[in-house]
Amino acid sequence: MVCDGTVLNPGSWGAALLAVGTTLSAMKHVLDGHGKIAYALVRPPGHHAQPTMADGYCFLNNAGLAVQLALNSGCGKVVVIDIDVHYGNGTAEGFYRSNKVLTISLHMNHGSWGPSHPQNGTVDELGEGEGFGYNLNIPLPNGTGDRGYVHAMTELVVPAIQKFEPNMIVLVVGQDSSAFDPNGRQCLTMDGYREMGRIVRSLADRYSGGRLLIVQEGGYHVTYSAYCLHATLEGVLNLPLALLSDPIAYYPEDEAFPVKVIESIKQYQNDVIPFLKGS
């Protein structure tokens, strides 16, 4: 099904096929051992596309189909880390009943936006059946900023992945979490993206033999999105020095409230999710 907010034009289907084909090719490049890291720079995005529903400018779930390819190719467990400003509801829905895929989404606390996006992205949407506990939502308050996001990564994402021990990591990146994006309010700068890239790279080195697929999603401030993407890749590549300085830093931060929210999410997850108990 398609929805009012996600419109098709004569070129949309071909573009969607190219996007998902590029993402599958990038995953296959890694799975076949031709490289450890691949980045799929694709449009249209995909993480809102559900198995039977287009949503949020997304028609086919690029990252989700790449995850399924990894499972079909023998990867026992895959983790998806989504840092787009919006909840990766489509990817979550695709694996909501699976314990082989751990979907983690750090997003603005925006809730549902209508029939095409019934999911709220709240902490209690944990998966169903065998998949219970394998969908971790981290809804963050507006203005969380660099230090707040890094705190969420170290306190919530890293411990979950340490417990899950994936064979493949997929990083779903959206630069609409940046300080100047018209669609987001999360106040990330290049420093935050760079540090998150470093954290994900260290997780890949430790758990997936360095294998990491990066898939592009949102980002609507065209100029600053490019800088933030560059910083993300600098972090993933473990570059000792930044190649680009931030042209419009520095954004004032107060992480006190985000830290409280993150600690409450951590307590909730540790109380109710079986594989995290005792973290």
Instruction: List residues with catalytic annotation.
Output: 48
Q: Which residue is associated with the tokens 């198995």?
A: 51
Q: b/e for 166-199, b at 16 or more Cβ within 10 A?
A: bbbbbbbbbbbbbbbbebbbbbbbbbbbbbbbbb
Query: What dihedral angle (degrees, nearest 10) is formed by the CA atoms of 94, 170, 78, 51?
Result: 10
Does residue 175 contact residue 229 with C-beta atoms inside 8 Å?
Answer: yes
Helices (H) and strands (E) in the chain, counts: 8, 6
174 in Cβ contact with 84 (< 8 Å): yes
Are 172 and 217 in contact by the 8 Å Cβ rule? The answer is: yes
- At how many degrees (to 10) do helices 12-31 and 62-72 cross? 40
Q: 219-224: which pairs have CB atoms within 8 A and are 24 or more residues apart?
A: 219/174, 219/175, 219/176, 219/178, 219/181, 220/176, 220/181, 220/182, 220/183, 221/175, 221/178, 221/180, 221/181, 221/182, 224/175, 224/178, 224/179, 224/180, 224/181, 224/248
Residues in the chain: 279
What is the rounded distance in angstroms from the CA atom of residue 204 to the CA atom of residue 181? 28
